[in-house]
C-alpha cells in the first residue's frame, strides 16, 4: 500500500479553509431565530415587538480588535423565522402589500443603518412603531386600497411624527419660557407643513383657505418666538420639573393621532389632525400662562389660545360638513 504524506502547507491551508467556512456559515448560512438563540454572537435587541431585530457581534477576535468588526443586524417576522439582513429593501419584501409601511420607511429612514433607531417617546424601535401604524391603517380599511391616497395620508402623518420626534428629543433646559418657545417653534412648523400639504392636495376651498391663514399666522409667530429665543438668556437657577406639562400635552396629542383612522380624504384627515394639533398647542400655551415669567412670551401664548380655540371650533364645523 502506498503511503500518503501530507505536506504541512496543505494541512495548514485545509485548517484555514475549515475555520473560514465555519465563520461564513455562522453569518451567511440559513439561520433562524431559534438557531440564533443558541449560537454565539447573536442577540435579540427588541423582544416582544412585531419585527424581531437581531444583533450579531463577531466573537472570533481578540479584545483589542473589537473595533475592527462592526456589528451586523438581521430580522425575522411573524410569518418567517429565517434571519434576513436588516435593510430597507428586505423589510419591504417581507411586507409586499403594506404600501403604507413602505412609504413610512422611505419618509423616515435615509439609509439602512437608521433602521435601528430607537423611539424614546414610544419606548420601542422606530421601525416597529411605523409598522404598527401602517398595519393599523390597512386593517381598518373596508374598501380596496388606494395607494395614492394612502401615500398622501402617510406624508401628512410622517410630517407630524418627524416634528414630534424632534420635540420629544429636545434637551430641556428646565426654564419654562426657554423650553416653551423652542417647542412651540417646532409645533408651529409641523402645522405649516401639514397646511402646505393640504393646499397642494386638498380639494375643499374652505379648508384650503383656513390652511393658508394658519400658515400666515404661525409663520409670524415663529418669527416672534425666534426673536425671543435669540435675545433670551436662560437663568442659571432653573426648576427642572417645570417643563413636564409641555411633554404631557404632546404625548396626549400623539396618542390621539396614532389612534386616528385615516379616511383617504385629504381635507377630512387634515381637519382631524389639526384639531388634535391645535388642542395640544392650546394646552402648551395655557401652561405658559401658568408657569411662564416673561410678558412678551405670555402675550404670544394668549394669542395662540385665542386664535386656535376659534380655529378648532371652525374645524369641527368643517368636519361635520365634509363629505
Residue 152: pLDDT band (50, 70, 90) is very low
Mean pLDDT within 136-147: 44
**Edge-to-edge strand list for the sheet holding 80-85:** 42-44, 52-56, 72-77, 80-85
Spatial CB neighbours of 27, under 8 Å, sequence gap ≥ 6: 56, 72
Residue 8: pLDDT band (50, 70, 90) is low
Contact yes or no for 188/167 (Cβ under 8 A) = no
pLDDT(89) > 50: yes
Contact yes or no for 273/260 (Cβ under 8 A) = yes
Alpha carbon dihedral 269, 308, 305, 281, in 10-degree steps, equals 30
- C-alpha span between 92 and 134 (Å, rounded): 12
Mean pLDDT within 243-249: 55
What pLDDT does 47 receive? Answer: 84
pTM for the whole thing? 0.53
pLDDT(242) > 80: no
Pick from 224, 195, 197: nearest CA to 212: 195
Higher pLDDT, 76 or 253: 76
Higher pLDDT, 237 or 52: 52
165 burial type by CB count under 10 A (0-12 exposed, 13-18 middle, 19+ buried): buried
pLDDT(149) > 70: no
- C-alpha span between 81 and 91 (Å, rounded): 14
pLDDT(171) > 60: yes
Share of the chain above pLDDT 70, in %: 68
Higher pLDDT, 233 or 21: 233
What are phi and psi for residue 73, nearest 5 degrees? -125, 140
What pLDDT does 310 receive? Answer: 96
Higher pLDDT, 70 or 316: 316
pLDDT in tens, 176-210: 899 899 989 988 988 888 888 888 888 999 999 99
- C-alpha span between 269 and 152 (Å, rounded): 10
What pLDDT does 16 receive? Answer: 52
Pick from 144, 45, 160, 145: nearest CA to 107: 160
What pLDDT does 164 receive? Answer: 61
Highest mean pLDDT among 44-48, 132-136, 238-242: 44-48
What pLDDT does 209 receive? Answer: 94
pLDDT in tens, 19-73: 544 444 444 468 898 888 888 889 999 888 889 999 998 776 565 665 677 889 9
CA distances from 235 to 147, 213, 311 (A): 51, 36, 35
* 17, three cell numbers: 479553509
Beta-sheet pairing, 80-85 with 124-125:
unpaired
Mean pLDDT within 10-21: 51
Pick from 164, 195, 189, 171: nearest CA to 257: 164
8-state DSSP, 2: P
Pick from 155, 140, 159, 158: nearest CA to 263: 140
H helix intervals, the chain: 8-28, 33-36, 88-94, 99-108, 126-139, 147-169, 176-201, 205-231, 244-258, 266-291, 295-321
- C-alpha span between 163 and 154 (Å, rounded): 14
Give the number of other Cβ atoms within 10 Å of residue 158's Cβ: 18
55 by DSSP, 3-state: which?
strand
In this structure, of 147-151, 166-170, 224-228, 246-250, the range with the lowest mean pLDDT score is 147-151
Pick from 289, 278, 303, 282: nearest CA to 177: 289
* 319, three cell numbers: 368636519
Alpha carbon dihedral 188, 293, 245, 250, in 10-degree steps, equals 0
Amino acid at each position: 500500500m502506498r503511503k500518503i504524506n501530507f505536506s504541512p502547507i496543505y494541512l495548514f491551508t485545509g485548517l484555514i479553509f475549515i475555520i473560514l467556512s465555519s465563520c461564513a456559515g455562522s453569518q451567511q448560512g440559513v439561520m433562524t431565530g431559534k438557531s440564533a438563540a443558541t449560537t454565539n454572537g447573536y442577540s435579540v435587541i427588541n423582544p416582544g415587538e412585531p419585527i424581531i431585530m437581531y444583533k450579531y457581534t463577531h466573537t472570533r477576535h481578540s479584545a483589542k480588535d473589537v473595533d475592527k468588526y462592526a456589528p451586523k443586524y438581521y430580522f425575522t417576522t411573524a410569518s418567517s423565522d429565517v434571519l434576513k439582513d436588516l435593510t430597507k429593501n428586505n423589510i419591504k419584501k417581507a411586507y409586499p402589500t403594506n404600501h403604507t409601511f413602505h412609504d413610512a420607511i422611505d419618509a423616515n429612514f435615509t439609509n439602512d443603518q437608521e433602521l435601528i433607531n430607537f423611539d424614546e417617546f414610544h419606548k420601542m424601535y422606530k421601525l416597529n412603531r411605523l409598522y404598527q401604524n401602517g398595519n393599523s391603517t390597512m386593517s381598518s380599511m373596508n374598501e380596496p386600497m388606494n395607494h395614492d391616497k394612502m401615500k398622501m395620508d402617510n406624508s401628512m402623518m410622517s410630517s407630524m411624527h418627524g416634528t414630534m420626534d424632534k420635540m420629544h428629543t429636545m434637551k430641556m433646559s428646565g426654564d419654562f419660557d426657554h423650553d416653551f418657545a423652542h417647542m412651540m417653534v417646532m409645533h408651529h412648523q409641523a402645522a405649516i407643513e401639514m397646511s402646505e400639504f393640504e393646499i397642494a392636495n386638498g380639494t375643499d376651498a374652505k379648508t384650503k383657505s383656513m390652511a393658508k391663514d394658519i400658515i400666515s399666522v404661525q409663520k409670524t409667530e415663529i418669527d416672534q418666538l425666534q426673536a425671543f429665543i435669540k435675545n433670551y438668556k436662560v437663568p442659571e437657577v432653573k426648576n427642572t420639573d417645570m417643563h413636564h406639562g409641555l411633554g404631557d400635552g404632546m404625548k396626549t396629542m400623539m396618542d390621539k393621532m396614532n389612534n386616528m383612522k385615516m379616511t383617504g380624504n385629504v381635507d377630512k384627515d387634515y381637519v382631524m389632525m389639526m384639531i388634535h394639533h391645535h388642542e395640544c398647542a392650546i394646552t402648551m400655551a395655557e401652561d405658559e400662562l401658568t408657569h411662564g415669567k416673561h410678558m412678551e412670551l405670555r402675550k404670544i401664548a394668549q394669542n395662540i389660545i385665542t386664535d386656535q380655540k376659534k380655529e378648532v371650533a371652525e374645524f369641527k364645523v368643517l368636519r361635520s360638513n365634509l363629505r
